[in-house]
Amino acid sequence: EPTVRAELMEQVPHIAMFCQENRPSIPYAFSKYLLPIVVRYLADQNNQVRKTSQAALLVLLEQELVERYDVETKVCPVLIDLTAPDSNDDVKTEAVAIMCKMASMVGKDITERLVLPRFCEMCCDCRMFHVRKVCAANFGDICSVVGQQATEEMLLPRFFQLCSDNVWGVRKACAECFMAVSCATSQEVRRTKLSTLFINLISDPSRWVR
């Protein structure tokens, strides 16, 4: 019953907190039993169940209730699977959004190793503009987590593509995070590359982008 699964997800952060407080007695309870259910429900057929599991996962990460090892071995692999080319469209879009939101919580190392390669692929998802729009909207956050080198080497080429996307909503999302992206680059890059890009955006055919 979907309502039962959704209700269970709402209780998960409280149960996780209890497990944390009673860790000497139940050391692996959360990692072994609860977390696998949360990540499994990220691909649930019911929209409400997916939404509550996403919210639960983000709360768990924010409260640092998920061990780093579990993030690497249980959370990230599932999100990578859910963003595969043959994944359900809604599930894929939602999974990309979670990857973006969790970047600041899991830090530079995990984001760069496990999230960034798939994020770069998603920026070029030619079939689904919803996915590209999520990537564009969160681009600045990813840049600020991975730092200058990864931004300039891996992310900027993708940002240039997104800024000239054929969907105005994607270009608008780029314009909104432009400042955050530029803050993650060197002064030289801002002067030689980003200034031209910004001029293109402020003279965009769409007034919503301008």
Which range, of 31-35, 193-197, 203-207, averages the lowest pLDDT?
203-207
Cα–Cα distance, 35 to 29 (Å, whole number) = 9
Alpha carbon of residue 66 to chain centroid: 17
| Segment 59-84 mean pLDDT | 91
* DSSP assignment of 100-140: HHHHHHH-HHHIIIIIHHHHHHHHT-SS-HHHHHHHHHTHH
The model's pLDDT over 132-189, given as tens digits with 9 standing for 90+, comes to 999 999 999 999 999 999 999 999 999 999 988 888 889 899 989 988 989 888 988 8
108 vs 86 pLDDT, higher one = 108
Q: Is 206 left (phi over 0), alpha (psi -120 to 50) or beta?
A: beta
Mean pLDDT of the chain: 88
> Whole-model pTM?
0.84
208 CB-contact burial (10 Å; exposed 0-12 / middle 13-18 / buried 19+): exposed
- Give the pLDDT confidence score for residue 190 in this predicted structure: 83
Cα–Cα distance, 115 to 118 (Å, whole number) = 6
* Cβ count within 10 A of residue 99: 27
Q: Tell me which residue of 146, 100, 144, 150 sits closest to 122, measured CA to CA.
A: 100
- Give the pLDDT confidence score for residue 8 in this predicted structure: 87
The model's pLDDT over 14-57, given as tens digits with 9 standing for 90+, comes to 888 888 888 777 668 888 888 999 999 998 889 999 999 999 99
In the chain, the N- to C-terminal Cα span, in Å, equals: 47
- Give the pLDDT confidence score for residue 168 in this predicted structure: 87
In terms of residues, how long is the chain?
210
| Segment 65-82 mean pLDDT | 91
Cα–Cα distance, 104 to 127 (Å, whole number) = 28
- Give the pLDDT confidence score for residue 39 in this predicted structure: 92
